[in-house]
């Protein structure tokens, strides 16, 4: 029997029992849709982690001052002002594994342009900061040496600040006031998005470190040379654990800490944290897909059950076809085509339901999802394989019948 004839017979047999066929396909439909949605959710989570890694910068460590204890009360990280600008230059100069170290001083304040104002993060930094963060400009220019040494009143702003203050207008060369001090906007940063802590990295105004300390945060900070953090970027081929230990040893030596004295700073390797998070999201994606695949197996068992019932109901038909010359492989292929047709139609409907489910997850739950062609192909291919696997036993049973016994079946 030709494939087209087998397919036509299979469709007639399935249409003869519409409700039973629909209920059988339902397991495959739900299974395929669940696999597609779960893979899309898992892929979206992985993409988000990768964006966070790219947003922070590669091979990045951040150095913060330690905590201070007053009257028995311990403050948090950063309460002790133990880091100075020279610590950053020493790290970059004395540790060959380090590509760049960028001292920063951070705070917040009201940013005003015309009649519009916005509260944003204020960061005093050096050009090394942009290299450490892998952060480029969309328009404008970087700080010049004269502006860094003479505390020039120039600023580079993030996308959020630009949108809130200027809307669609070009912010470059505009005059803004930061805590009442006028600054010329010389550059606009590319979009970074949220950090792994959910903070908007684009809600920022960056100015020369000397300017921030002397004119925004107070002249005392400028004279002492204190900084609130140091961003440290290692070379790509470097073992981050080794680089971290060398930075720690150098800082302890510079701060004259004894063997039994705890660190007066906090050093965090953000790359390792995010890589662990990425690995966890990959495992979660696999688990989600595995759980969703169980429903496909349940659908396959449903196909086997219905095909066994169909073989029993059509025993006399099978016997008659064998008696008039049909071969066992014809019967085998006929029932296999029916099983594959059930699973394939269910798979196609499952794609539509999976696409709708993915859209609903993105819109209602506001989760990041990524629907890929590969996940659709895998889901439909798996459903077809299930049709073959679970349809083979009933088809084999039908093809092995003896014509006389089948015709006598009541």
Residue 73 lies in a domain: no
Residue 272 lies in a domain: no
> Of how many residues is the chain composed?
410
Residues 256 and 282 in one domain: no
Residues 124 and 154 in one domain: yes
Nearest to 282 by CA among 46, 26, 113: 46
C-alpha 245/C-alpha 208 separation (Å) is 30
* Domain span holding position 179: 83-263
3-state secondary structure of 206: strand
The pTM assigned to this predicted structure is 0.64
Residues 95 and 228 in one domain: yes
Residue 60 lies in a domain: no
**pLDDT value for 70:** 47
Residue 147 lies in a domain: yes
Vertex 130, ends 124 and 134: CA angle to 5°?
Answer: 145
Supply the DSSP symbol for 324: T
Residues 98 and 170 in one domain: yes
Domain boundary at 209, 233, 263, which? 263
Tens digit of each residue's pLDDT, the chain (410 residues): 566 776 777 777 777 888 888 888 888 888 888 888 888 888 887 777 766 666 666 688 889 887 655 444 454 554 567 888 999 999 999 999 999 999 999 999 999 999 999 999 999 999 999 999 889 999 999 999 999 889 899 999 999 999 999 999 999 999 999 999 999 999 999 998 877 667 889 999 999 999 998 889 875 444 567 888 999 999 887 888 889 899 999 999 999 988 888 888 888 887 666 666 667 777 777 777 777 778 778 888 888 888 888 888 877 877 787 787 777 777 788 788 888 888 888 888 998 999 999 999 888 877 888 888 877 887 778 778 888 888 888 888 887 877 767 666 65
Domains contained in the chain, number: 2
Domain boundary at 207, 229, 263, which? 263
Over its C-alpha atoms, the chain yields an Rg (Å, rounded) of: 33
Which H or E element spans position 110? strand 98-113
Residue 238 lies in a domain: yes
Residues 97 and 160 in one domain: yes
Residues 151 and 197 in one domain: yes
Residue 270 lies in a domain: no
**Residue where the block lists tokens 């150098």:** 250
Residues 114 and 208 in one domain: yes
Residues 181 and 308 in one domain: no
**pLDDT value for 353:** 92
| Burial of 107: CB neighbours in 10 Å, binned 0-12, 13-18, 19+ | middle
Residues 294 and 176 in one domain: no
Q: How far is CA 115 from the centre of its chain?
A: 39
Domain boundary at 263, 287, 318, which? 263
Nearest to 156 by CA among 182, 189, 132: 189
Which H or E element spans position 403? helix 403-408
Residues 229 and 259 in one domain: yes
Residues 12 and 43 in one domain: yes
Residue 74 lies in a domain: no
Residues 245 and 97 in one domain: yes
Token couple for 35: 């696999």
Residues near 115 by beta carbon (within 8 Å), at least 6 away in sequence: none
C-alpha 26/C-alpha 6 separation (Å) is 23
Residue 66 lies in a domain: no
């Amino acid at each position: 029997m030709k494939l087209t004839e087998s397919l036509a017979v299979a469709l007639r047999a399935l249409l003869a029992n519409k409700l039973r066929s629909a209920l059988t396909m339902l397991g495959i439909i739900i299974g395929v849709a669940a696999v597609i949605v779960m893979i899309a959710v898992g892929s979206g989570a992985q993409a988000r982690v990768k964006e966070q890694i790219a947003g922070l910068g590669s091979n990045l460590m951040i150095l913060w001052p330690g905590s201070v204890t007053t009257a028995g009360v311990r403050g948090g990280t950063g309460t002790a002002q133990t880091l100075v600008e020279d610590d950053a230059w020493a790290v970059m100069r004395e540790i060959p594994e380090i590509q760049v170290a960028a001292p920063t001083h951070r705070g917040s304040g009201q940013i005003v342009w015309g009649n519009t104002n916005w509260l944003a993060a204020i960061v005093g930094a050096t050009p090394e900061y942009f290299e450490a963060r892998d952060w480029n400009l969309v328009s404008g220019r970087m700080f010049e040496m004269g502006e860094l040494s003479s505390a020039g009143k120039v600023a580079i702003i993030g996308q959020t600040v630009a949108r809130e203050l200027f809307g669609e207008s070009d912010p470059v060369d505009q005059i803004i006031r930061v805590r009442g001090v006028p600054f010329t906007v010389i550059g606009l940063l590319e979009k970074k998005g949220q950090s792994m802590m959910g903070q908007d990295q684009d809600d920022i105004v960056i100015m020369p470190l000397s300017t921030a300390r002397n004119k925004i945060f107070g002249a005392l900070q400028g004279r002492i040379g204190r900084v609130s953090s140091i961003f440290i970027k290692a070379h790509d081929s470097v073992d981050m654990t080794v680089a971290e230990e060398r930075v720690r040893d150098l800082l302890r030596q510079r701060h004259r800490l004894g063997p039994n004295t705890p660190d007066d700073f906090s050093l965090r390797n953000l790359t390792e944290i995010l890589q662990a998070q990425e690995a966890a999201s990959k495992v979660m994606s696999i688990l989600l897909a595995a759980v969703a695949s169980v429903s496909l197996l349940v659908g396959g068992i449903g196909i086997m059950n219905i095909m066994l019932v169909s073989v029993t109901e059509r025993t006399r038909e099978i016997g008659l076809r064998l008696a008039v010359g049909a071969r066992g492989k014809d019967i085998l292929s006929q029932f296999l085509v029916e099983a594959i047709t059930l699973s394939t139609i269910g798979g196609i409907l499952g794609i539509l339901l999976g696409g709708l489910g993915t859209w609903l997850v993105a819109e209602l739950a506001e989760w990041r999802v990524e629907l890929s062609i590969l996940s659709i192909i895998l889901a439909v291919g798996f459903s077809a394989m299930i049709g073959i696997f679970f349809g083979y036993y009933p088809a084999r049973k039908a093809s092995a019948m003896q014509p006389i016994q089948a015709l006598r079946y009541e």
